[in-house]
Amino acid sequence: MVTSDDVHRTALSLPGAEERDHSGKPSFRVGNKVFAVIQPDGVSLVLKTTKEDRHAYTTMAPDIYAMPDSFASMAYMVVRMDRIDPSECREMIVQAWRLVSPKRAVAAYDRGSI
């Protein structure tokens, strides 16, 4: 099981990431671009993704991944933190960060120089 504290630690360990309030919920961003939002229920995490990956994940494992109600037209998906493997969740948070981060920051992260 993944906790909100796990998400905080992972998200804030990424270069340029910061936490900001998003309508009373903790969100993680690079600049003004949101890559993760912890939902008030304590078990749902909204992550940035691609529409193609969202379709694949929500089709493959609908008990873990879902289409968000309020972000349906954008490339985000809901991840059940109480059902996802912790290492998979970490990878998905990093992937979400990659989608909103500057290419230079991603390249430096990949080289291990940040």
pLDDT tens-place string over residues 50-81: 999 999 999 999 999 999 887 667 899 999 99
Q: What CATH number labels 4-104?
A: 3.90.1150.30
Domain locations in the chain?
4-104
Residue 15's Cβ-count burial label (10 Å; 0-12, 13-18, 19+) is: middle
pLDDT band for position 11 (cuts 50, 70, 90): very high
Which residue, 47, 79, 44, 75, is CA-closest to 65? 79
Is residue 46's pLDDT more than 70? yes
Strand-pair category, 25-30 with 33-38: antiparallel
- Give Cα separations from 13 to 9, 16, 40 (angstroms): 6, 9, 22
